[in-house]
Every structure is written in C-alpha cells, then in structure tokens.
Amino acid sequence: MKTYSGPTAGSNIEPVLRNARKSVWIISPWLGKEYAKQLALLSQKGIEVRIVTSNVDYNNESLEVFKASENPNLIPLVLDKEKVAFIHSKIYIVDKVHAITGSANLTYSGLNSNIESLSIAETKEEVQRIEMDFMRIWMNFERKSMSNEELSMETSHAIKDALPLSINYGNIEHPNIKGKELVYHPYYFFEFSFRASAGKSPPVLFENSGSVILDGVTRQIVKDNLLVEEFNNHSIEDYSLKTENKYLLTIRKSKIHHFREA
C-alpha cells in the first residue's frame, strides 16, 4: 500500500479516472461540476459509473449534470444527511484494478490544492478489500437514496390535471423545520346535471347541477374550500411547478384508472 500526503496528493486520482476502461466506483461527499461532466462522459462511452455522494447545496450543479445525462451506465446514489446519513468516506475504484482511499473529495481543491492524505492499493487483495468496503456502503444505502423526483432542484415539472394550492405557512424558515415537502395529487373535475319528476298530480320536479372535484389518489370528493376556489378561479390546464433546492417534490400517482357514467 502506497501512501501520499500534502497539497499534491490528490493529483494521483485524476489520471486513474481518465484511463478507465470498464468501471468507475466513487464515494465523494462533495462533487465538482467539471468532474461530474467527466463521469457522465465516461458513462456515455459504455463505462459503468457508480457514485455515492450527498444532497448538499455544493453538489446541485453536479446532480443536474447527472439528471441531464439520462444514461443507464451512470448510477448516482445520493444521500440526504437529514433523513439518512452524511456520507464522509472517500473511495475511488477503477476497473477493479486501481483502488484509492483517503481524504480527497472529487473537487478541484481536493485534487489540486488541499492538503490531503491518500492510500493507494498495490495488490489484488488490497483492491478487493476496498471494493468490499464500497459494496457494503452501496448495498446498505441503495434503497435509502433519493429518487429523481426528490432531486428535482431548480427544474420545472408539468403536472397533468394538478391544481396548485398556495398556503401561507408563516415563518417557513423556522430553525425547527428540518425539511419541506411539496406533495401533489392528481385531481379530476366533473360537471353534473340531472332532472327527474315524481308523482302524477301534479308531479314534483327534482333538478340540480354543479361540479365536483375528485382526488385521484384517495378516490374521495374534495371538500376543501380553498382547493375548490383555486379550481374555479383558474381554467383547466397543465400547471408548471418550479421547485427550489430546499424543497422535496413528491407526485402521487393516480389510483383511478377507469371511469363509468353514472
């Protein structure tokens, strides 16, 4: 096992990544945008790229690069420190032949100027031990990673038949509020009218008309006055919801698939 320390220690990582041929496995809490682009480019060449990183503001642009790539060879595992854990380990494994551990993040300062310490495996057994460390972390947190919807930061989503409802929560920046989530349900609008008579001399006429809003998830008629008012004040359209990086976005799928006339 070789070891390096000092402001140039991180320079041992980039050449190994650049020469990858089959696979790149990385754990890095902080991830520079330019390096995210390099990883996306490697994945486009057919190289399997797995990366474990954190949902922190510094990584926003890098995560946008990953989302824009839409490449099945690029597999990011993003952990939210408030809900899961803060990943602090740094591991670099290339082609299952080169393995590096230490303190350097995959950022410009981590690889070029910070005083870092690195250990580089020299034998097959050493590489396999680091590979096992990586897989233990990957398997432990794979199901707890953030979904694409939760990673919807600074992007717009067209939500079919969804009705926006603005509610003033007061001091939304209160320090005791750890996280905020926007949840959208699909809604359906129905207009109705009926007329019927009963009896013969003279008949009694029954008639009514109006509209109802149905929640596509709960299958219940919506009686929320604010929501009904929002619908009545806006034409039926696809709304575009723009989220900020401090929000999580969850879009509930409809449980209603077939309708019958009543």
What is the number of domains present in the chain? 2
- For residues 21 and 112, state if they share a domain: yes
Average pLDDT over residues 67-77: 84
Tens digits of residue pLDDT in 138-162: 877 777 666 665 565 444 444 444 4
Of all residues in the chain, the percent with pLDDT exceeding 90 is 16
Q: Which of 214, 170, 207, 169 is nearest to 188 (CA)?
A: 214
- For residues 37 and 139, state if they share a domain: yes
- For residues 138 and 171, state if they share a domain: no
- For residues 190 and 118, state if they share a domain: no
pLDDT value of position 78: 86
Average pLDDT over residues 42-51: 91
Query: Could you say which of 94, 115, 144 is where a domain stops?
Result: 144
Of all residues in the chain, the percent with pLDDT exceeding 70 is 72
Domain that holds residue 162: 156-251
In a domain, 187, yes or no: yes
Tens digits of residue pLDDT in 106-130: 998 888 888 989 899 989 889 988 9
pLDDT > 70? residue 173: no
Look up the CATH number of the domain holding residue 30: 3.30.870.10
pLDDT band of residue 91 (cuts 50, 70, 90) is very high
Question: Packing angle between helix 60-69 and helix 33-44, nearest 10 degrees?
Answer: 20
In a domain, 238, yes or no: yes
pLDDT > 70? residue 163: no
- For residues 82 and 169, state if they share a domain: no
- For residues 14 and 117, state if they share a domain: yes
CA dihedral 122, 123, 125, 127 (to 10 degrees): 40
C-alpha–C-alpha distance, residues 1 and 127, integer Å: 10
In a domain, 149, yes or no: no
